[in-house]
Amino acid sequence: MARRLDYSARYPLHTNQELYAALSDRDYWEGRMVAMNHLAPGNVVVEFATDDSGIEVVLNHVLPRDMLPELAQQVMRKDMIITRKESYGPFGPEVTGKYSAAIPAGPGSLGGKMRLFPTETGCTLRYSSEAKVFIPMLGPRLEQMMLINLTDLFRAEAEFTKQWLDDRIPAN
């Protein structure tokens, strides 16, 4: 059975348009990958494209096996390379998107939907995620571990994004 998680990254004092502009900027993604190296080394932007139909990004996250929790080391025999794909629709009053994270020969899946919308004080990017692990007995524990780590990742990415926006678009 899959486990689900909703996470909201709030950006007070910044508009949808400002956040979407950041997501449309390759320098933002490159900077974010460098910043995420404090969590695990080896983060890179593999592909980036933006046009009138939206934004497409492919990222690789490398987690050395020795940094994985003991439970995950039982399943993964080498460094974990996670390929994460994000896509956002065209800019509008509300923007929807989706993401997926894949591990070659991984025993499960992780993905979800994203929604960027305005709030009274700024904007919010909400992630609705689902983790599935197809290993009897260990599956539920690994799913929960994935979602906890995902929350930490989303929080770190939101902190980077807020700082990126604050540095480029100071609040009035």
- Give the model confidence (pLDDT) of 107-147 as tens digits: 788 999 999 999 999 999 999 999 998 877 777 777 787 78
Per-residue pLDDT of the chain (172 residues), as tens digits, is: 788 999 999 999 999 999 999 999 999 999 999 998 887 778 899 999 999 999 999 999 876 666 666 766 566 666 667 899 999 999 999 999 999 998 776 778 899 999 999 999 999 999 999 999 887 777 777 778 778 888 988 999 999 999 999 999 876 5
CATH class of 3-167: alpha beta
3-state helix/strand/coil string of the chain: CCEEEEEEEEEECCCHHHHHHHHCCHHHHHHHHHHHCCCCCCCEEEEEEEECCEEEEEEEEEECHHHCCHHHHHHCCCCEEEEEEEEECCCCCCEEEEEEEECCCCCEEEEEEEEEEECCCEEEEEEEEEEEECCCCCHHHHHHHHHHHHHHHHHHHHHHHHHHHHHHCCCC
Q: Where are the domains of the chain?
A: 3-167
pLDDT at 39: 73
Exposed, middle or buried, 136 (CB in 10 Å: 0-12/13-18/19+)? exposed
Instruction: Read off the DSSP letter of residue 77.
Output: S
Do strands 44-51 and 80-88 pair parallel, antiparallel, or not at all (unpaired)? unpaired
